[in-house]
Amino acid sequence: MNRTELLRQLRAHHPSDERESAMLQRIIDFVRDNDRCFDRRLSGGHLTGSAWMVDADRSHALLTHHARLDIWAQLGGHVEDDPDMLNAAWREAREESGLDSVRPISDQIFDVDVHAIPANPKEAAHFHYDIRFMFEADRDAELAITAESKSLRWIALDDISEITQEESILRMVRKTRKLKAWR
């Protein structure tokens, strides 16, 4: 994927609310203005790919308790050597869950978010311009926790607000409920 194709996909995305719309515009501006937008060494921020992983009946999502950030979040991470955002999210989903049978529900962007990453001993504070795709996996398959996670759990959509009030996560829960209602 190149920047032109990513910009096409971003412009085709339909944000669910004003907040996501504002973040979508920030990401479009960032990609348009930074030819190194995929490079994690870019000062100030870079693109990341995330996987909103749900089970077959869309009643649960797989979340990780991020080891460094100490928050519950969707699976995802850096683009690495493949600037295809769907492939990056798919790779991260498999690596961070230990699941082999992960499949994308669609090749269209599911959600976007821009969030600050605090400084740490290895890097300065920066932003993640996160492109998110929806994936499906078997909730009964065995999970493998990596060093990036304190925990990894399938959580009922109805219970997610008990472990996080992060708006971007709750927005994806709302989107999943709407999709489930249309099935």
- Of the options 3.90.79.10, 3.30.930.10, 3.40.50.300, 3.30.2010.30, the CATH number for the domain spanning 3-182: 3.90.79.10
- pLDDT at residue 180, rounded to an integer: 73
Largest CA distance in the chain: 46
- pLDDT at residue 43, rounded to an integer: 85
- pLDDT at residue 152, rounded to an integer: 96
Q: How far apart are CA 128 and CA 14, in angstroms?
A: 20
Q: How far apart are CA 156 and CA 69, in angstroms?
A: 22
- pLDDT at residue 82, rounded to an integer: 74
Mean pLDDT per block of 10 residues along the chain (183 residues) reads 91 97 98 94 93 97 93 92 89 94 96 94 93 97 92 97 96 93 65
- pLDDT at residue 2, rounded to an integer: 86
- pLDDT at residue 182, rounded to an integer: 66
